[in-house]
Structure 1
C-alpha cells in the first residue's frame, strides 16, 4: 500500500490551542509570503539558504493532493477481505525471494536493530509492492500543498522543513522526486523527518536513498521500527484457537491479561509456542469469535504507531508471521457483518446512548468496536465487538 495510511494517527492528534494558533498564522494566503516564511524557518533550523532556495524553486499547490486529502478514509473491507487480498501467495513468494536476495542486509537489520526480516519485508510489500509502486506525486509540491493548507499545517510544515535538509544533503531532487500524495517517500513510504533522523546508508555510497536503494530502505525501516519500540526477540502477533466460554468482554485492543492467563482459559496458540506467558497481551477477534483469532503482544504496538487502521495493522502483522514460516490462518465461519449504511445506524444509536464513536462514517474503528462490546454485554449478547444484524435489531 503506497497511500499515506500512517496519517490515520495524526488525524486524531489534538494540538494545544497555542500550537494551533501559531500554525494557523503560518498557513493559507498567497503562496509567495508563505514560502518566504518556510525559508526563514528552514534557515533558522540550520539549512543553508541556497539549499532552501533550490528546494522551493518552482513550488506549486497541487489540487490533486487536496482532493486525496479530503477523500481519505479508513478501510471498509473486512479483515478476511483485506488480508486475503494483500497477503497473497505471489507477495509471499516475492517476499521470501527478497529476504534471500538481501540476506546480508536483513541480517544486519536484525543484529543492529533487533527487527526480524519478516517484519520489515511485510511493510515493504504492503506499502509499495517491494518498491514497484511508490507514488507519482511530486514530493515537494505535496508537502507545500499540505503545509499551506490550514487543515493540518502543524503536521506537514515540519516535514517540508526536513525536505529542505534532504536537498542540502544531496539525497533528494525537489524537481523530480515523487512519492505518495502526503509526502511519504521510498520503498517503505517514510516521511522526510523520519528519513533525516533514522536514515541509514545501507549500500555505503554516501547518500541515503530510500527510493532507489533497497539496502537503504531496509535498514532505515529497521532503525525506525526499533525507535517505535520493537523489542528484540519477542513476538508481535500469534494466531490462536479459542473456546466458546471466554470472558469476551476482556477481548479487544488494550487488553489487561497476560498470555498465560488467556492460555489457562483455553486459548491455544496454533504454533504451540507458549514461551511468553508473562507478557501482557490482547485477544483480538477481527470478525468476532467465529472468525480468525489472534493474541497481540507488546511488539504489536509498533504496527499501531505505523498505521492506526486495525485492518491494516492486523494484516501487516499476520503477513510478517507468514514470512517467518507461520501457516495460513483459519478463516472460521464468521457471522455476516453490516454494510456501511447499517454501520452508520449503529454508530448513531451508540452515540445516542452516550458512546464516543467519533465521526458517523460507517467505519468499524476502535472506538465503535469498544462501544459495541459494551452494548453487547448490556444486551446479554456475546461481547466480541463484531456487529451483526442481530445486534442491530437488539440495539
Structure 2
C-alpha cells in the first residue's frame, strides 16, 4: 500500500507565515489575489500571468488532506504496515548502489545513511512512487482552503521562484498531494533553501537524481538541527519496577543514568548523551531511548507514530534487530480516543485537536492523569484510564 499521500500532509515548511493568511471565497478571486501579491514581491506581470494561467482547484487534493486515518494506528500496527522485508532488502541494495554518495553525506553532514534510506523508503518507495498530483494545483488549492493556508501560501511563491529559474513547470511538475516534490518529498521553499547538486551535473533534480535527492535531504536535516554522527534511537530493555513517570519526551536524563535505573541496550552501548525513554505502547510494549537527533524528525514530520517508525526503521537498515513487541494492553479505538481527548480537555489539558490520534500532547496529558489517579504512568491510554476519567 502506498502511504505517500497520507504522510505528506504533516511535513513542516520552512518560512510559513505567522500572520493568518487570506483564504476561502471565490477561487478565481483568490488566484487574482495571489497574482497581485506575486507582482508586489517583484515578479513581472507577464511571468506571473504565465505561471498562474493553468491553476485549477483540485478536489482530489482536499479529499487526500482529509483522509488521515492511518495516523490513528498504534505504533506496532503502523510500523508493521510500513516496514517489510522487501523494503529492508531494497534499502540495503540502495545503500550499496549509492555507497559513495552516502559516504560523502556521512563525512559532510554526519547524517547516517539509514536515516535517509528510511525517509526515501517511506516517502516514495525509493523513488518509485513520487505522486501524480499537479503540484501547482495542489499548492494553490491548499492555500485557498482555510485549514492550513499559512503553511501552503508561501510555497506557491517558492514554486514561482523555481519556475523563474527553469526548475518548475505549472503544467508538468507533479508530486505528492501536499506539494512535495521528488524522491524524498521536499516542498518548494525547502528545495530553494536546501537543494544540492549531488551528481555534479549543474542542476538540482530531486525527481530523477538519487544523489541530488539524498544530498538535499541531508542538507535539510542539517539545517533542521541534526547533530553530526550521533545516534537518534536505540531499543532497550526496561525493568518492571521502573518509575514510569520518568518516561516520555518531556523527561530526559543521560543514557548512562538510565543504565543506573536498570535500562539496558538490546544492541550496542549506551552513549554519553541526554535521552528520553520512549514507550510507544506503554510499559508492556517495545522501549527505546530517544536521543537529541530523534527530535529533529519532528521538524520533518509532526506525526509521533510516523517519526518513531521512521527512526526505528533507520536503525533496522543499519543492522539493529527486530524490536521486542512485548504484549501491550489493547489500544483504544478511534472513537474511544476521541472520548479520551474530550475528557482530558475537560480537565484542562491541551491535547490539540480532538482527532483520535495519540500524539505528543495527548500522551503528556495521559501521563499526568495516570499520575493523579495512581496508575502506571507510561503515557499509554487504556480502557481502565478512560473509565476512571
Partners of 2:140 and 2:344 lie apart in 1 by: 39
Partners of 1:14 and 1:117 lie apart in 2 by: 29
Which of 158, 162, 185 aligns to 1:162? It is 158
Residue of structure 2 in register with 1:258 after alignment? 254
Residue of structure 2 in register with 1:174 after alignment? 170
Q: Tell me, which stretches of 5 or more residues in structure 2 are unaligned? A: none
Residue of structure 2 in register with 1:361 after alignment? 355
Residue of structure 2 in register with 1:149 after alignment? 145
Task: Write the mapping of 1:44-63 to structure 2, written as runs, cut at 5 A.
Answer: 44-45=40-41, 47=43, 49-63=45-59
Contact 1:2/1:180 (8 A) holds in 2: yes
Task: Write the mapping of 1:1-395 to structure 2, written as runs, cut at 5 A.
Answer: 1-3=3-5, 5=7, 7-8=9-10, 19-20=19-20, 23-24=21-22, 27-45=23-41, 47=43, 49-73=45-69, 75-274=71-270, 276-277=271-272, 279-395=273-389
Cα distance, 1:378 vs structure 2: 1.6
Q: 1:48 to 1:92 in 2, by over 3 A?
A: farther
Contact 1:6/1:306 (8 A) holds in 2: no
Contact 1:202/1:215 (8 A) holds in 2: yes
Partners of 1:75 and 1:49 lie apart in 2 by: 42
Q: 1:9 to 1:191 in 2, by over 3 A?
A: closer
Partners of 2:64 and 2:320 lie apart in 1 by: 36
Contact 2:130/2:182 (8 A) holds in 1: yes
Partners of 1:168 and 1:372 lie apart in 2 by: 49
Cα distance, 1:255 vs structure 2: 1.9
Partners of 2:343 and 2:17 lie apart in 1 by: 29
Q: 1:47 to 1:319 in 2, by over 3 A?
A: farther
Q: Which moved more, 1:327-336 or 1:144-153?
A: 144-153
Contact 1:51/1:167 (8 A) holds in 2: no
Q: CA RMSD for the aligned pairs? A: 2.2
Partners of 1:290 and 1:70 lie apart in 2 by: 33
Contact 1:41/1:161 (8 A) holds in 2: no
* SS at 1:58 equivalent: coil
Cα distance, 1:358 vs structure 2: 2.5
Q: Which moved more, 1:43-52 or 1:189-198?
A: 43-52
Q: Which moved more, 1:143-152 or 1:295-304?
A: 143-152
Q: 1:256 to 1:30 in 2, by over 3 A?
A: same
Cα distance, 1:87 vs structure 2: 1.6
Partners of 1:252 and 1:354 lie apart in 2 by: 20
Q: Which moved more, 1:103-112 or 1:42-51?
A: 42-51
Q: Tell me, which stretches of 5 or more residues in structure 1 are unaligned? A: none
Q: Which moved more, 1:88-97 or 1:99-108?
A: 99-108
Offset from partner CA, 1:77-135 (integer Å, 9 cap, x none): 11111111212111010001011111111122122222111110100001110111111
Q: How many residues align?
A: 386
Partners of 1:47 and 1:153 lie apart in 2 by: 21
Contact 2:245/2:371 (8 A) holds in 1: yes
